[in-house]
Structure 1
Amino acid sequence: MKSKIYALLTIFMLAFTFSTPIAAIASTEKNSKKIELSEEEVAKRIGEMRKRVEEIKAIDKSTLTKIERKALRKELREMNKKARAMGSGGVYLSVGAIIIIILVLILIL
């Protein structure tokens, strides 16, 4: 029974270990054009985004065409993504890391 569990654990660890470097390479290629901003610049950009969001909220959307409403939604989504990217500095765990942590905790306890 234990040998089956260890074999399964080894397979999971190898599967997630080999896929991680490939994902890291792909993400660094996409984000290679990333520009570093100072805190003042970030605060200024977020302030501009907030002003634009207030302008969009103030617009009477019943007078807009379907294409214009779609463009506003797209603009809001893009601003939301940019704001999250500028403001967040959190720690992210992959699914593989969570599974490994759980398995290690099970083995310890």
Structure 2
Amino acid sequence: MKNFILLLALFFTVNAADAAIDAKPGKTPKTELTEAQLIRKAEMEARLAEIKAMDFKSMSKSEIKEIKEEMKLMKEEARATGNGIYLSVGAIIIIILLLILLV
């Protein structure tokens, strides 16, 4: 239990330090999307709506595979323009295992 409390204290300390770094004056704020990015976003949303409306049962496996690859590329493009932290499944599993082992 003591280790768990220490781990929580470390977690909150790191978060507080991160918030303090973000609050520094002179740090550039998150940028808004440009007009080209907004247009591309609208195009991607329209294409996703088309894909959702498709009947996959009447398609061949190769067509479905092409659509999945297209969606993966759009997802990667969307992540590249967005700001955020993404954790992989492997990283989440490792974090959970470390928490279990430390407690």
Instruction: Give the number of the structure with larger relative contact order, counting CA–CA contacts within 8 Å between residues 6 or more apart.
Output: 2
Instruction: Compare the two structures and name the one with the higher helix fraction.
Output: 1
- Normalised to the residue count of structure 2, the TM-score between the two structures is 0.48
